[in-house]
Amino acid sequence: MTFGTMPSGERVERFELSSGPLRAAVLSYGAVLQTLEVYGLNVVLGLDTLDDYLTRSRYFGAVAGRYANRIAGGRFALDGTEYQVPVNDGPNSLHGGVHGFDSKVWTVADVTGSSITLTLTSPDGDQGYPGTLNASVTYTLEAEAIRLDYTAETDAPTVLNLTNHSYFNLAGRGDVLGHVVRIDAEHYLPVDAVKIPTGELAPVKGTPFDFTEPHAIGERQGGAYDHCFVLDGGVTVVEPETGRTMEVTTTEPGVQFYAGGMLDPAATPYGPHAGLCLETQHFPDSPNQPGFPSTVLRPGERFTSSTTYRFTG
């Protein structure tokens, strides 16, 4: 069904998926996961109208790219050439720039009752990034899980980091400070004052970033988390009142755990900590950090990535 029309005249469509106890709605705008119902309860933050997504969204449910997370100064070098991409987060570039993949209308390549594949062509020079990139994301509902599969190919060397930016609230209301989180990660990435990694893979032991044993989000440092963890396994989130659980597994090396502390009710329909993000991805600022896993994609290579969110209760 038609969800709205962009100022450019492009039509935005809304698609409903279902499988077992799961129901989902996906928009062609930003490849947004608008709703995800688990046994009748919506567990992601979404918006009601296209205008809201154009003016009031903090990446709610969208695919972030071409480079998810931050690039220091919006600058990086690739094969001896310096590139400048838009700065939209203090001194840094965030989630691909001012007009990243989250603000594009994607093409629906295939849709069934339980899955949808959306594609996007990002031309050479889009937001300053080199190479024409052809990307896709497939949402698949299967039993009690939703799986996200990404692919991408390029005609010239580029950098790439894709993720989904859904905010989860397993209670469907209130804040997530009482949600209990376990992250199978012995290391995390410390950041500077503008949230750029220092380059260190620091041990979590003895710090508020140690989630190798379960902790409530609000138990330490007021729930002020917006950090990348170096994954050794998966992530588990439990909403203690209902016992509802979400387990996250991924092929990516890291996860950005953001507890929603910067959500502003003056700018969005949601207040601080209304939802938490688990953005599976490569590490922030990798193009400028030679010690991090490479995010360079070259012609003839095919980028693939898969993440599953599984629910019980």
Give the count of domains, the chain: 1
Rounded to the nearest 5°, which phi and psi values hold at 72?
-60, 125
**166 annotated as belonging to a binding site for a ligand:** yes
Residue 303: give its domain's CATH number: 2.70.98.10
**57 annotated as belonging to a binding site for a ligand:** no
**167 annotated as belonging to a binding site for a ligand:** yes
Q: What angle do CA 38, 41, 44 make, to 5 degrees?
A: 80
Q: Tokens 């503008």 map to which residue?
A: 194
pLDDT mean by block of 10 residues, the chain; 313 residues: 96 97 98 97 98 97 98 98 97 97 98 98 98 98 96 98 98 98 98 97 98 98 97 98 96 98 96 98 98 98 98 91
**273 annotated as belonging to a binding site for a ligand:** no
Rounded to the nearest 5°, which phi and psi values hold at 253?
-80, -15
Q: Quick check: helix, strand or coil at residue 223?
A: helix
**Residue 262: both structure tokens together:** 């910067």
Q: Which residues contact 252 (CB under 8 A, 6 or more apart)?
A: 163, 231, 280, 281, 282, 305, 307
Residue 66 and residue 100: Cα distance in Å, rounded? 6
Alpha-carbon dihedral 227, 230, 232, 237, rounded to 10 degrees: 10
pLDDT at 313: 82
Residue 267 and residue 274: Cα distance in Å, rounded? 14
Task: Provide the residue range defining the domain that includes 199.
Answer: 2-312
Residue 278 and residue 257: Cα distance in Å, rounded? 5
What is the per-residue pLDDT across 130-155, written as a single tens digit (0 to 9) for each? Answer: 999 999 999 999 989 999 999 999 99
Q: Which residues contact 48 (CB under 8 A, 6 or more apart)?
A: none
- Please give the model's pTM, rounded to 2 decimal places: 0.97
Q: Tokens 């601080």 map to which residue?
A: 272
Q: Quick check: helix, strand or coil at residue 259?
A: coil
**66 annotated as belonging to a binding site for a ligand:** no
Q: Quick check: helix, strand or coil at residue 74?
A: helix
Active centre residues (catalytic): 165, 279
What is the per-residue pLDDT across 40-72, written as a single tens digit (0 to 9) for each? Answer: 999 999 999 999 999 999 999 999 999 999 999
Q: DSSP assignment, residue 213?
A: S
Q: Which residues contact 103 (CB under 8 A, 6 or more apart)?
A: 29, 30, 54
Residue 72 and residue 55: Cα distance in Å, rounded? 25
Q: Quick check: helix, strand or coil at residue 173?
A: coil
Residue 72 Cα distances to 46, 83, 91, 101, 195, angstroms: 29, 12, 7, 19, 9
pLDDT at 2: 96
Q: Tokens 């469907």 map to which residue?
A: 172
Q: What angle do CA 69, 74, 75 make, to 5 degrees?
A: 120
State in Å, rounded, how far the first CA of the chain is from the last one: 31
**188 annotated as belonging to a binding site for a ligand:** no
